[in-house]
Amino acid sequence: MAEKVLIVDDDKAFLAILAERMQNRGMEVSTADSAAAALKMLEKETYDAVLLDLMMPEMGGIEALQIMRKKQPEVQVIFVTGHPSVSKGVEAMKLGAMDFIPKPVDMNELTEKIHQAKAGRMILVEKRSQEKIKKILTDKGW
């Protein structure tokens, strides 16, 4: 099954071209040109990976990541940024980001990370389902 990916970046030219390249690789791609638009999309849909720009107007990537993690704890966020700094990277990872990729993007590296994101998300979803089932069984005394 195709990977479902959401790209979030305020640079519309970058959004369009990256989406086209990923679609050519068989992925199902949605785009949002602001963090606010991405958060709305996350209310209705789940994605295997979210590619998130770090510096965006009004709401930056770090703030968006925190809200996304509250909405969907198993969401896999990969930061794509022009200037990856160690301090920002550490902050993002502490807040639950999956990885950091510098711009310009290496498509092979990005594709690999998206595969990893999908696998990581599936493990988390499965783990949560098992915990739910376990809780139901425990509550019923079985």
Partner 1 sequence: MIPDAGVIGQSGLQFFGKMCASISHDIKNVLAVINENAGLLEDLCAMAEKGRSMDPSRLKRLAGDIQEQIRRGDRIVTGMNRFAHSADEASTDVDLSELLDLLAALALRFAAARGVRVQVNRPPAAVRVTTAPFLLLNLMWLCLEGAMATAGPGTVELAAENAADGACLRLCRIEGLKEAPAAFLSAEPKGALCLALKAQLSLDPEKNEMALRLPKNRV
- According to CB under 8 A, which residues from 4 to 23 bind partner 1? 10-11, 13-14, 17-18, 20-21
Rounded Cα distance, 131 and 32, in Å: 33
Per DSSP, the three-state class of 50 is strand
Segment near partner 1 (CB under 8 A); pick from 41-49, 102-110, 116-124, 130-138: 102-110
Q: How far is the CB of 141 from partner 1 (least distance, A)?
A: 55
Q: How far is the CB of 33 from partner 1 (least distance, A)?
A: 12
User: Terminus-to-terminus CA distance in the chain, angstroms?
Assistant: 36
Taking residues 41 to 80 in sequence order and writing x for each that binds partner 1 by CB under 8 A, - otherwise, the string is --------------x-xx-x--------------------
**41, 30 Cβ separation under 8 angstroms:** yes
**114, 49 Cβ separation under 8 angstroms:** yes
